Amino acid sequence: QSALTQPAYVSGSPGQSITISCTGASSDIGSYNFVSWYQQHPGKAPTLLIYDVSNRPSGVSNRFSGSKSGNTASLTISGLQTEDEADYYCGSYTGSITLVVFGGGTKLTVL
Amino acid sequence: EVQLLESGGGLVQPGGSLRLSCAGSGFTFSSYAMSWVRQAPGKGLEWVSDISGSGGSTYYADSVRGRFTISRDNSKNTLYLQMNSLRAEDTAVYYCAKESRYCSSTSCYTAYFDLWGRGTLVTVSS
């Protein structure tokens, strides 16, 4: 099972919106609505941002939103803030004995 | 407070063994499947292994199958990862993570990880 594909770097200015893509295969993202997104600040553990493609856990800002089309999922962050600068990872259920696959991660820089 | 706390990491020689532990608190530990996820220095997340709430079913990534064993003791609210035949490429921070699963009459689906521990560093080097 191959890792999901994310852009290595994304940048934006405060107040702008950015979108991070996450491309998988018909066997993972394309087959299941079990796509999740995680935020990781340097030296910290990941935290859940989005689950089941587009749902936000309690306490997560509505500036974060998720979507999916075919084999590609997307995370959009609107109204960028400096504290959004972090690494972002997507994950998906695979339906195979390798249960879960993650993307390689995207480093977001807020200029 | 709902939390996970890993321990047991350290420096080990190639070919050696190590056992990681993860203590859960603030939730009904036995009701949830759990996973280990690792992150090599400067790299992304890699799912390693999963165990059901009862401990009756386990899954492994291809990279660790046959070398690592996941287990749990629900009476102690603790998850374990026994790592044998360690290699340099196993060097990573190991996180335990609480899963959210959806189950039908025939299958269960690991949907996401809603609680992560702080991680424990495993370094495999001579």
Specify the 3-state DSSP secondary structure of A110. Answer: strand
pLDDT at B81 over 70: yes
A:B CB pairs within 8 Å: 70
Residue by residue, pLDDT tens for chain A (111 residues) are 678 999 999 999 999 999 999 999 999 999 999 999 999 999 999 999 999 999 999 999 999 999 999 999 999 999 999 999 999 999 999 988 888 999 999 999 999
pLDDT at B115 over 90: yes
Per CB-CB distance under 8 Å, the chain B contacts of A48 are 112-115
How many angstroms from the chain centroid is the CA of residue A48?
9
DSSP 8-state symbol, A28: T
Of B44, B50, B59, the CB nearest to A89: B44
pLDDT value, residue A1: 67
pLDDT value, residue B68: 98
Per CB-CB distance under 8 Å, the chain A contacts of B112 are 34, 36, 48, 51-52, 91
pLDDT value, residue B104: 86
pLDDT value, residue A96: 85
pLDDT value, residue A2: 77
Q: Between β-strands A18-23 and A72-77, what pairing exists: parallel, antiparallel or unpaired?
A: antiparallel
Q: What amino acid is encoded at B1 in this protein?
A: E
pLDDT value, residue B118: 97
pLDDT value, residue B105: 87
Non-local (6+) Cβ contacts of B90 within 8 A are B38, B64, B83, B122, B124
Q: Find the mean pLDDT for residues B13-41.
A: 97
pLDDT value, residue B49: 97
